[in-house]
Amino acid sequence: MITISGLVAGYGAADPILRGVDLTAAPGAVTCVVGPNGAGKSTVLKACSGLLRPRSGRILLDGDDLAGLAPAEIIRRGVVQVPQHHGLFPALTVRENVMLGAYVERRERERNRRRFAEIAELFPIVAERAGERAANLSGGQRRAVEFARALMLRPKVVLLDEPSVGLDPRARRQLAAAIGTLNSEGVTVLIVEQNVKFGLSLAHDAVVMEGGKVLRSCPAPDLLADPGMAALFLGGGAGGGGDEPKGDA
Ligand SMILES: Nc1ncnc2c1ncn2[C@@H]1O[C@H](COP(=O)(O)OP(=O)(O)OP(=O)(O)O)[C@@H](O)[C@H]1O
């Protein structure tokens, strides 16, 4: 469980982008953060993974405060972020890319080898294309390999920053299946998604952000059914992503 309270964070000396964010990602659930462009959604993930040092507030992982810890320490504690773009090394094989997920524990060779075998069972693409260069994969297949890599250290929490960007509908279905696989491993998933309907259709819980604050937290189906949602997202320029019907995943 991740519990964020009073989180204030920003870039350089400028005014903070996050102005007191409170949100919870329930254990074993998928929580989707939505909101207009510039709301601060990705900034929340950067603070959780240690890429951005919060100015104040707490980010509790099962009661321990992660705020201000170094990224490598946060990974060791069980929180892994899947980056938005260019997550794989194209010249390396699928296997090499997945094994990099255990880089901070690279001396544990035997344990990592066993974990790779488990992950290859969870994600068929990893088993089927293990020896092939990542450059040869489709967009949806790459996302699956990125998720596989994120599982190497048995994380408690996986942070996904706009995973559907650039994917066609078929690849989005593969992505949805891969997120289901992450979740079936008992991982808590915190996802930021521009494609609001797609993100909410995968999620148990929803968090709406605007202007660096949380406007609303509720079950994802409640937000999907809310007629005010379209006004917020279409009006706010986030584009609603209305091409992905609920349940299509
Ligand atoms: N590295 C950075 N340096 C300075 N400002 C930044 C940086 N990254 C983001 N920002 C600013 O922080 C604000 C929030 O950005 P953030 O990426 O968190 O928003 P978001 O809700 O994820 O929106 P989007 O969907 O457009 O990515 C924006 O005004 C953005 O310009």
Per-residue pLDDT at 5: 97
**Nearest alpha carbon, ligand 1 atom 26:** 37
Q: How far is the CA of 40 from the centre of ligand 1 (A)?
A: 6
**Nearest alpha carbon, ligand 1 atom 2:** 11
Per-residue pLDDT at 55: 96
H, E, C per residue of 34-99: ECCCCCCHHHHHHHHHCCCCCCEEEEEECCEECCCCCHHHHHHHCEEEECCCCCCCCCCEHHHHHH
| Element holding 228 (H helix, E strand) | helix 227-236
Per-residue pLDDT at 87: 81
ipTM higher than the 0.90 cut: yes
How far is Cα 52 from Cα 153, in angstroms, rounded to an integer? 22
Q: Is the pTM of this model over 0.90?
A: no
Angle, in degrees to the nearest 10, between helices 109-122 and 139-150: 140
Q: Which residues pair with 206 in a beta bridge?
A: 32, 218
What lies within 8 Å, CB to CB, of 150 at 6+ separation is 80, 82, 101, 158, 182
All structural domains of the chain: 23-54+70-226 (3.40.50.300)
Q: How far is the CA of 191 from the centre of ligand 1 (A)?
A: 16
Per-residue pLDDT at 234: 56
**Nearest alpha carbon, ligand 1 atom 7:** 11
Per-residue pLDDT at 167: 81
Q: pLDDT tens digits for 174-199?
A: 888 888 888 888 899 999 998 898 99
**Which portions of the chain are predicted below pLDDT 70?**
86, 233-249
> Which residue carries 């819980």 as its tokens?
205
**Nearest alpha carbon, ligand 1 atom 5:** 11
Q: Ligand 1: which of 37, 44, 159, 233 to mutate, most ligand atoms within 8 Å of CB? A: 37
How far is Cα 133 from Cα 153, in angstroms, rounded to an integer? 22
Give the tokens for residue 75: 């990974």
Per-residue pLDDT at 249: 33
Per-residue pLDDT at 73: 92
Site residues for ligand 1, CB cut-off 6 Å: 11, 17, 35, 37-43, 192, 194
**Nearest alpha carbon, ligand 1 atom 9:** 43
Per-residue pLDDT at 242: 41
Q: How far is the CA of 146 from the centre of ligand 1 (A)?
A: 23
Q: How far is the CA of 17 from the centre of ligand 1 (A)?
A: 8
Average pLDDT, the chain: 88
